[in-house]
């Protein structure tokens, strides 16, 4: 039993231990909450392993796409969405914006790998359980000259899809449009 817990991603913090498997009712309630936010032209999708096997994953993957006119508006949406999941509904969510979601259709082979632009909350991500750091990373923009026009609160980078884990699984995972 975990006695002391702390998690932080960007500005969002919690001391609530999330549980898995994640209760579907919590996810449905969270979706209803985020639908109340002004997503503008963004499209929001549920993806990842949660879509095909809710009992064997520890997070809910959310993929956002659509034009980024204002990084700080996207930042605000991400902060509110993380806070609702972690502090109100008590589950772990992983939210990222992608230039497009075509990678969902790719064959799960090394030959099918392509570059995509991924945007997420920037800053420290840390998880401490019973006084021990079990995860610590720094999310930042690593593309050349990116800091000239990308706010420090967001991390924008080029990533390769499919990732090794997707190739190992060999499964094309469906996505479900939420917004």
* Distant-in-sequence, close-in-space partners of 52: CB < 8 Å, separation ≥ 6: 171, 173, 174
Confidence category of residue 173, pLDDT binned at 50, 70, 90: confident
Q: How many CB atoms lie within 10 A of CB 55?
A: 8
Side-by-side strand order, sheet with 176-177: 154-161, 114-121, 93-98, 60-65, 43-47, 176-177
Looking at the chain, the number of H-run helices and the number of E-run strands are 4, 10
Q: How many CB atoms lie within 10 A of CB 69?
A: 9
pLDDT per residue as tens digits for the range 22-62? 999 999 999 999 999 999 999 999 998 899 888 988 999 99
> Where exactly are the structural domains of the chain?
5-177
pLDDT per residue as tens digits for the range 62-98? 999 999 999 999 999 999 999 999 999 999 999 999 9
pLDDT per residue as tens digits for the range 119-143? 999 999 999 999 999 999 999 999 8
Q: What are phi and psi of 168, to 5 degrees?
A: -60, -45
* CA proximity to 64, closest of 55, 75, 56, 54: 75
Side-by-side strand order, sheet with 123-129: 12-14, 5-9, 123-129, 132-139
pLDDT per residue as tens digits for the range 144-170? 877 788 999 999 999 999 889 889 988
């Amino acid at each position: 039993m975990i006695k002391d817990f702390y998690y932080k991603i960007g500005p969002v913090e919690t001391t609530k231990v999330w549980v898995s498997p994640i209760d579907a009712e919590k996810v449905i309630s969270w979706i209803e909450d985020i639908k109340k936010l002004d997503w503008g032209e963004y499209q929001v999708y549920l993806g990842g392993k949660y879509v095909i096997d809710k009992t064997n994953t520890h997070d809910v993957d959310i993929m956002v796409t659509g034009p980024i006119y204002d990084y700080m508006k996207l930042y605000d949406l991400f902060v509110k969405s993380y806070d609702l999941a972690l502090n109100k509904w008590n589950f772990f969510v992983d939210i990222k914006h992608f230039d497009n979601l075509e990678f969902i259709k790719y064959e799960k082979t090394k030959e099918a790998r392509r570059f995509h632009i991924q945007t997420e909350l920037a800053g420290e991500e840390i998880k401490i359980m019973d006084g021990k750091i079990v995860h610590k990373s720094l999310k930042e923009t690593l593309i050349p000259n990116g800091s000239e026009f990308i706010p420090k609160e967001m991390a924008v980078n080029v990533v390769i899809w499919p990732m090794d884990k997707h190739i190992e699984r060999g499964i094309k995972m469906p996505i479900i449009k939420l917004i």
